[in-house]
Amino acid sequence: MSAIQSLDLLTQGAGYGVLIGVGAAFALFIVVATRLTSKHLGEDAQSTEMFMVANRSVGVGLTASCVYSSWTWATELLWCVTMVYLYGVQSAFWYGAGLAVQICIMSVLGIEAKKKIPTSHTCLEIVQLRYGKIAHLLYMFLCLVNNLVSASSMILGAAGAISAMCDNLHIVASTLLIPFGVLLYTAVGGLKSTFLTDYVHSLILLIILCYICTAAVTSEHIGGIGGLYDKLVEKAAAGEIKYIEGNYKGSYITGKSQGAIFFGLIHSIGDTGLTVMDSSFWQKSFSANIKASVPGYLIAGALIYANVWALGMVIGLGNVVLEDNQIFPTYPNKMSTFEVNSGFGLIYTVKALLGTKALGALLLVLYLSVTSTVSAQLISVSSIISFDIYRTYFKPNASNKQLITVSHLGVVFFGLFSAGFSIMLHYVGVDMTWFGYFYSMLNTPGVIPMILLVVWKDQSKAAFIISPILGIIGGLAVWTGSAYALYGSVTIKTTGEQLPCLYGGLTALFLPGVATVLISLIKPANYDWNNMRDQSNLIFVKNDDDSDTQPASTNDLVTEKGQNADVKEESKLTSSEIESVDVNEDNLIKKYRYLSYSATIIVLLVTWVIWPLPLYRDYIWSKAFFTGNVVVGFIWLYLALVMIGLYPLYDGRHSLKRVFNGVLGKN
């Protein structure tokens, strides 16, 4: 990292201030918020239903902001700029395409789970009820590997970037301090804390992204959208920027980019694994009330392009035109391969265009985005440790208090373990891009069998168990074999090339899908979904007074009317009234199932066929077309600020009013 030692960026004090100070501030915020909601909204963070699934009552606005934040990764912001720098403007689009479909898939899985097993806390509980112990242990391993891959990849990218930004703050200190504040507020508030902090994260992040993108494109060194286009054309004509192999005429401003579409495929495969095999994403769906789950996910899925589209185009292409300018931090040198692959192009371009203060804002954005991911992973792993390990195999009659204690220990353990694993990756020479290309071989083999777990009654137990094992073996074999066949050796460099990772990822994802279908067709299971629903009472948690802990349906920050359910009134419901409620709920689920399936198909067709493929032709974008593309990216960004940053406040206005009135003594 000697190439960045003399750069005039931020001080180490700034880094420590964010890593320690902001983390502690969020922990304090959660402590205060938890006490206020407990006192004025009747929420108990020491209840397992609240700690694990937020009482299954989160509304549309908070669900959308939480899902949006969960798909806002530190590597996402760094990597989209890197890929535009390497492969051109279309890389920003393909990055978003690898996020939107996956969110829609989770809306399908979430509503299916609400219909078939409404009391679940983790996806692994569903595995256990349908397929038993062996399948449960296998998929527990796969999910934990995915959690480790997800957390460590984000920590690796963010810690490297923060270290580079802050006068080479020691990488070990950066890596260990990232989980510090997250450990505090997650242990205190559980999943609800991640919803609240994710909302604040999203609001701050979107405000800063709007500022960075707008200020950058209007700066004197860029000269507006038209100025950016003119500089790209002039430098390309003068041979001052590289010719991109696989792009039409080697241009940065063309939709025909082989490298960009390869990246999009690799990224989308890996993200599908990060999503479906991550129990925290299932938990967020379990946490939403029925009216909020699908709409919240679809709002986030529609808006997720805001993170990468404008940022990738403006900062990524700004990186290209400014790299040989004396205002660029590495001038007169070009960025090294390590700096490019670690995502430092975002840091250097923001510093060049907007100065040190903007770089401080970017530091905050990176910290918030990585802690959002780590927080979700901590809750996911702690839930697996408490419910799927401790309660299942060690103490089946564990009380609420015991489960919460184990969950807290799980949060601390995984936070420290993932940080240590990230340090190991750094010291063996793994960078953000290599790891991002690689992990699909590990986290995708269980994806299709896991989807079929809740949507296909004929999937057999043998198919569910055998198929991911075949996927892991096949994916790793194709990955290393392709690297050797194409480049003559198996090294960090050759295994980090696009084609071996693409071939390996495709094998790891689709081989298990083919295998599970073929094996199941030999002897279809014909599973009765009512069995799963009937067994759902097995996963209720006993309170310390031995009464069943039932999930609430309306006691939350953003319920439709912001009012708590009255237990006494509920007890007066007649059997016919209860039956009427159940019928209405079933009808609502049917409606949202149709919506989620339709949205997933439409988003897949639009983002992977209808929109991008007509652009994959021999055409360098005109100035007008380029301008329109960037403008739409900005519209998406500002719309996300309104819907993700402001709408949850409106949606939760009644509960917020109750809390404020309570604080003022008016309740």
DSSP state of 342: T
Q: What are the tokens at 510?
A: 């689709």
d(CA 210, CA 296): 22
How confident is the prediction for the chain on average, in pLDDT? Answer: 85
Domain boundaries of the chain, sorted by first residue: 12-33+59-425+618-664
Judged by average pLDDT, the poorest of 276-290, 461-475, 505-519, 549-563 is 549-563
Q: Where are the alpha helices (DSSP H) in 133-251?
A: 133-165, 171-217, 224-237
Judged by average pLDDT, the poorest of 18-22, 130-134, 350-354, 523-527 is 18-22
Q: How many of the other CB atoms lie within 10 Å of CB of 651? A: 24
Band the pLDDT of 255: cuts 50, 70, 90: very high
Specify whether the backbone of 284 is left (phi greater than 0), alpha (psi in -120 to 50) or beta. alpha
Band the pLDDT of 49: cuts 50, 70, 90: very low
d(CA 30, CA 411): 16
Q: What are the tokens at 642?
A: 């309104």
User: Would you state the pLDDT for residue 119?
Assistant: 77
DSSP state of 621: P
392-419 pLDDT per residue, tens: 899 888 887 888 888 888 888 898 899 9
Judged by average pLDDT, the poorest of 193-207, 310-324, 559-573, 581-595 is 559-573
User: Would you state the pLDDT for residue 548?
Assistant: 41
Tell me: pLDDT of 556 over 60.
Answer: no
Tell me: pLDDT of 573 over 70.
Answer: no
Return the percentage of the chain with pLDDT > 70, whole number. Answer: 86
The CA-to-CA distance between both ends of the chain, in Å, stands at 58
d(CA 127, CA 468): 14
User: Would you state the pLDDT for residue 190?
Assistant: 54
CATH assignment of 12-33+59-425+618-664? 1.20.1730.10
425-467 pLDDT per residue, tens: 988 888 888 999 999 999 999 999 999 999 999 999 999 999 9
User: Would you state the pLDDT for residue 482?
Assistant: 96
Burial 379-415 (b: 16+ CB within 10 A, else e): bbbbbbbbbbbbbbeeeeebbbebbbebbbebbbebb
Q: Is 560 helix (H, G, I), strand (E, B) or coil?
A: coil
Q: Residue 620: beta bridge partners?
A: 254
Tell me: pLDDT of 6 over 50.
Answer: no
Q: Residue 515: beta bridge partners?
A: none
596-642 pLDDT per residue, tens: 999 999 999 999 999 999 999 999 999 999 999 999 999 999 999 99
The pLDDT of 353-379, averaged and rounded, is 88
Band the pLDDT of 193: cuts 50, 70, 90: low
> 560-568: which pairs have CB atoms within 8 A and are 24 or more residues apart?
560/59, 560/291, 561/654, 562/652, 562/653, 562/654, 562/655, 562/656, 562/657, 562/658, 563/654, 564/41, 564/42
User: Would you state the pLDDT for residue 539?
Assistant: 53
Q: What is the helix (H) or strand (E) element at residue 442, kind and residue range?
A: helix 440-443
Return the percentage of the chain with pLDDT > 90, whole number. Answer: 54
User: Would you state the pLDDT for residue 79?
Assistant: 93
User: Would you state the pLDDT for residue 57?
Assistant: 55
Judged by average pLDDT, the poorest of 288-302, 445-459, 553-567, 572-586 is 553-567
Instruction: Return the closest-CA partner of residue 264 out of 626, 632, 615.
Output: 615
**Helices 461-487 and 123-131 meet at what angle, rounded to 10?**
120
User: Would you state the pLDDT for residue 80?
Assistant: 94
Largest CA distance in the chain: 80
Instruction: Return the closest-CA partner of residue 149 out of 526, 443, 506.
Output: 443
List, in order, residues 6 or more apart from 427 with CB less than 8 Å away: none
The pLDDT of 29-47, averaged and rounded, is 65
Asked if 215 and 354 count as a contact pair (C-beta separation under 8 A), the reply is: yes
